[in-house]
Structure 1
Amino acid sequence: MLDEYGLPILMVVALLVTLFTGYPVAFLLGGLGIVFAFIGGINLAFLGTVSSRIFGGVIENWLMIAIPLFVFMGLMLEKSGVARNLLLTLQRLFGRVHGGLAISVALLGIVMAASTGIIGASVVMLGLLALPVMLKQNYKPEVACGIIAASGTLGILIPPSIMLVLMGSIMQISVGALFKAALVPGLLLGALYVLYLTIIGKLRPDWAPLPDENAEDVDTTPLAAALARDLLGPVILIAAVLGSIMAGIATPTEAAAIGAAGSMLLALFARTLNLGTLRDVMRDTSRTSAMILFVVVGATCFSVVFKRLGGDIMIEEMITGTGLGPYGLLLLVMGLIFFLGFFLEWIEISFVVLPLLVPVIAKLDFGLGLSSQAILVWFAVLVAVNLQTSFLTPPFGYALFYLKGITHGEISIGMIYRSIIPFVLLQVLGLILCILFPSLVLWLPGMTGSG
């Protein structure tokens, strides 16, 4: 195999090695694609097809419009203070429960996940809002850091998710079906977090103590009124976005536009919508969208050249040649993606690995009586749950670095690494449950006729 597939293997090794240089991943992917095209003696005319694939297929895909709109929606909710007010109100709701503040962070993570897929914004927002309060309340630092990092990553799974939009484009399956399929697994992970925190509060109350009722900054607004003020708006927005998609009223792109407009209305009602906020949101939206687009372009070049050199055939032979059954192959693929998550971001894994695996997975018979499209939807959600761990696993877990960046040296990176261990295990448990019980993924799409 080394003689036959030497260049594809070398291409993968070169990518893994160059990642440690700190050079932007988008340029690494595109540059390696061009370099190995010359090494492999690929005709220059073929590189023209790469440009056609990028500009005539990927960039012109109308689903891409949803990305900056969803980014805008999440950033507007964060920078306008809507999310901060919601956290403080949820804290009051669970105030007399050990671990109540941590549970509030988990619930806010779920709410924010359903309104944004920007992990950096979610983790930084939760960290700035909750970490000082949790440490002041004498929470065990590992508990505080772990729930903030884990809850902040829920946005990559719970719809509307940018990752699911891109997966739908890559795998040629319905984004609406993916949104429906990912909803229950995403809520399942959130429920596992809350269950874990509840157990911690019962068994180790000293790790998650009760707040001081005599604090000077306690909100005196009646709890019911505070919930109506701070929770009702985001819930209506989420219902409008997800409900319009699931009911077939709007496409994901149209629903993203609804979400962007709705987030501005919430900021307006909160009296925090001004020129400065709008400018900051638009600037950060442009930066995030440009980063994603550059990675898409680079990954497209890498993957096209990799396939031309026989990499897709190599992957198929490696997987099918193991002698494992369908579930054995699935576990092998999940293990591979989990391992890659230690070194690569979800965008690179999605654009480089998924196009190679989809043809293999679509042909497998799991004995579930499912169509190939349903199997791909199930597989995509399994990959999405798996990829969520890539934000939490060292050495390149971006959520860990986002959190470290806002602690100002008060918490060591080693402590942050330790804090995420139970939450990574909970994510693996959620993945196992979705493999063992496919109905967790496929029940909602089946109920709405898109499974």
Structure 2
Amino acid sequence: MAEFVAEYALALLMIVTLLAGIFSGYPVAFLLGGLGIAFAFIGGIPIPFLGTVGSRIFGGVIENWLMIAIPLFVFMGLMLERSGIAKSLLLTLQRLFGRTHGGLAVSVAVLGVIMAASTGIIGASVVMLGLLALPVMLKQGYHPEMACGVIAASGTLGILIPPSIMLVLMGSILQVSVGDLFKAALIPGLLLGVLYIVYLLVTARLKPDWAPLADPDAIDADTTPLPLALARDLLGPVVLIVAVLGSIMAGIATPTEAAAIGALGSLLLAALMRSLDFATLRDAVRDTSRTSAMILFVVIGATCFSVVFKRLGGDSMIEEMITGTGLGPYGLLLLVMGIIFVLGFFLEWIEISFVVLPLLVPVVELLDFGYGMSGQGLMIWFAILVAINLQTSFLTPPFGYALFYLKGITQGQIGIGTIYRSIIPFVLLQLTGLILCIVFPSLVLWLPGLI
């Protein structure tokens, strides 16, 4: 043990310093880049070596055409969030499920799945669902834990169900096709949605006081026949989903080209909903710029940190720590998933993706899980498992961002303790989905192999 610490002292110190810096609240992008440069000098790394960091940043990040998809998908999500489509669809779904205990909660979960396939922006999805559904659910008599839990969990589906920014970045990190990642994530994402709905219906049946029936007069306020209302409110999102995901899966467009189609489609939908004006467009462009800049700066800082960390032996340290456990392939996989799950309590998915993922990939590539998986198929399966795992990072305290978004919406009406308790069953459901995808890899690999 002493020899291990002595050999990898600087690499271990980098990790400790990074965690301390994150808890201090210092901006992560500057923290990653600054630590990379500082430890390059502390470790006596030659100055010319830092030139490779610049080359990596320009060659791997700035010149990466795949990165263009990020602001386009962000813009698409923001425009849809402001178009008013979600509000109309929620009211129609409430009419569809409203005469069932838990019907409104199921409507929120279904809307979360639909908007996840249209937006992929966690903050926008949670805030939108919270503003639309939370007052209605509380007024109808829903237990706050059920209301908060379904809103937070459904809002985070956008990070997994394509088009997902996380999958775009993972494709760049792992050097695998983003189109294949989108195909692979579709069934696991829908599986989580189904698990949420089953849980809500069972809970509503066992605890009907947690999910009372809606007022029939409120449900029937819209006199449009239900089939026509569903067709009216679903048509726009479905057309956009088919245009974006369908063009990628059919091989007609690259993810970047499909993102451009989605951005244009969201503008057209906003115009059709008569919600497109200069103020809306200005706000969407401004928020897109902020989000994209934040992601880009974290990627640049993480690139600098990773290059120096590897030069100091960090990759060998991680590999030795994991493979030295003596566990088999599935034991090591569970260990890796456990590490990522725990890191999700304290780190954002961007830092985990860009700092931790490149260090774990060499270990996973050496493992034989059977099922004939190797190369690209193995990396796609592993990427989706990590993506499902990282979705929990938005829900787990103390730094679950979906919880803070929801807390801001409640304006003090619901305590943070209630919100924390509300997400426990949904985190367990996400872990159940993760275990199912580990035990049955075909849930992930069937669709990419079919198309």
Shared fold, TM over 0.5: yes
Deviations 1:80-119 (A, max 9, x none): 1112211111111111011111111101110111112211
For 1:4-47, what per-residue CA distance to the aligned partner results, in whole angstroms no more than 9, with x for missing partners? 00001111011111111111111111111111111111111111
- Cα contact 2:167–2:182 (8 A) shared by 1: yes
Matched, 1:225 2:225: no
Task: Indicate whether 1:176 and 2:179 are aligned.
Answer: yes
1:259: which partner in 2?
262
Measure, in 1, the Cα distance between the counterparts of 2:17 and 2:160: 30
**Runs of 4+ with >4 A deviation:** none
CA distance, structure 2, for counterparts of residue 97 and residue 329 of structure 1: 44
| Alignment equivalent of 2:382, drawn from 379, 383, 397 | 379
What secondary structure is seen at the aligned counterpart in 1 of 2:6?
Answer: coil
The Cα of 1:154 is off from its aligned counterpart by 0.3
Distance apart, 1:229 and its partner CA: 1.4
State the match for 2:410 in structure 1. Answer: 407
Query: One-letter code of the match for 2:430?
Result: Q
Of 322, 328, 333, 1:330 maps to 333
Mapped pair 1:394 → 2:397: yes
Q: Pairwise CA RMSD of aligned residues?
A: 1.1
Q: Which structure 2 segments of 5+ residues have no match?
A: none
Q: Give the aligned partner of residue 436 of structure 1.
A: 439
Among 291, 296, 320, which residue is 2:294 paired with? 291
Listed as ranges, the matches of 1:27-46 within 5 Å are 27-46=30-49
> Of 91, 95, 100, which aligns to 1:92?
95
Structure 1 residue 200, shift from structure 2 partner: 1.2
Matched, 1:21 2:24: yes
Deviates more, 1:364-373 or 1:345-354: 364-373
User: Which residue of structure 2 lines up, in the alignment, with residue 128 of structure 1?
Assistant: 131
* Alignment correspondent of 1:143: 146
Aligned residues: 448
Moved more, 85-94 or 156-165: 85-94
Q: Deviations over 1:390-414 (max 9, x none)?
A: 0000000000001001110001111
Does residue 1:317 correspond to 2:334, yes or no? no
Query: Is the 8 Å Cα contact of residues 95 and 219 (structure 2) preserved in structure 1?
Result: no
User: How far apart, CA to CA, are the structure 1 residues paired with 2:220 and 2:288?
Assistant: 33
Between the aligned partners of 1:224 and 1:433, the Cα distance in structure 2 is 35
Deviation at 1:221, TM superposition (A): 2.1
- In 1, the alpha carbon distance for the partners of 2:247 and 2:298 equals 30
Q: Residue type matched to 2:39 in 1?
A: F
Residues 217 and 267 of structure 1: is their aligned pair in 2 closer, same or farther, counting only changes over 3 Å? Answer: farther
Q: Retained in 1: the 8 A contact 2:98–2:219?
A: no
Q: What amino acid is the match of 2:208?
A: P
Which whole-Å CA distance do the structure 2 matches of 1:207 and 1:37 have between them? 56
Give the share of equivalent positions with the same residue, in percent: 80
Alignment match of 1:279 (pick from 271, 278, 282): 282
Residue 387 of structure 1 deviates from its aligned partner by: 0.3
* 1:349-388 matches, cutoff 5 A: 349-388=352-391
Contact 1:363–1:372 at 8 Å: present in 2 too? no
Q: Distance in 2 between matches of 1:347 and 1:220?
A: 46
Q: 1:111 aligns with which of 108, 114, 122?
A: 114
The 8 Å contact of residues 362 and 373 in structure 1, kept in 2 or not, is answered as no
- For 1:154-205, what per-residue CA distance to the aligned partner results, in whole angstroms no more than 9, with x for missing partners? 0000011000000000000111111111100000000000000110121111
8 Å contact 1:241–1:255 — kept in the other structure? yes
Gaps in structure 1 of 5+ consecutive residues: none
Alpha-carbon spacing, 1:208–1:216, altered in 2? closer, same or farther (3 Å): closer
Structure 2 counterpart of 1:253, which letter?
T
Q: Is the 8 A contact 1:117 1:155 kept in 2?
A: yes
1:219: how far off? Answer: 2.1
Match of 1:368, SS?
A: coil
Preserved CA contact (<8 Å) 1:95 1:211: yes
Distance 1:222 1:369 in 2: 51
Which stretch shifts more, 273-282 or 375-384?
Answer: 273-282
Q: Would you say the 8 A contact 2:166–2:387 is kept in 1? A: yes
Q: Distance in 1 between matches of 2:157 and 2:9?
A: 39
Whole-angstrom distance in 2 between the partners of 1:84 and 1:378: 35
Aligned to 1:64: 67
TM-score of the superposed pair, with normalisation by structure 1 = 0.98
Deviation at 1:360, TM superposition (A): 1.4
Could you tell me which amino acid in structure 2 is paired with residue 58 of structure 1? V
Tell me the equivalent position of 1:7: 10
- Amino acid of the residue matched to residue 319 of structure 2? E
Q: Paired residue for 1:424, among 424, 427, 431?
A: 427
Q: How many Å separate the matches in 2 of 1:91 and 1:43?
A: 64
Q: What are the Cα deviations for residues 417-436 of structure 1, in whole angstroms up to 9, with x where unaligned?
A: 00000000000000000000
Deviation at 1:48, TM superposition (A): 1.6
The normalised TM-score by structure 2 is 0.98
State the Cα distance separating 1:217 from its structure 2 match. 9.1
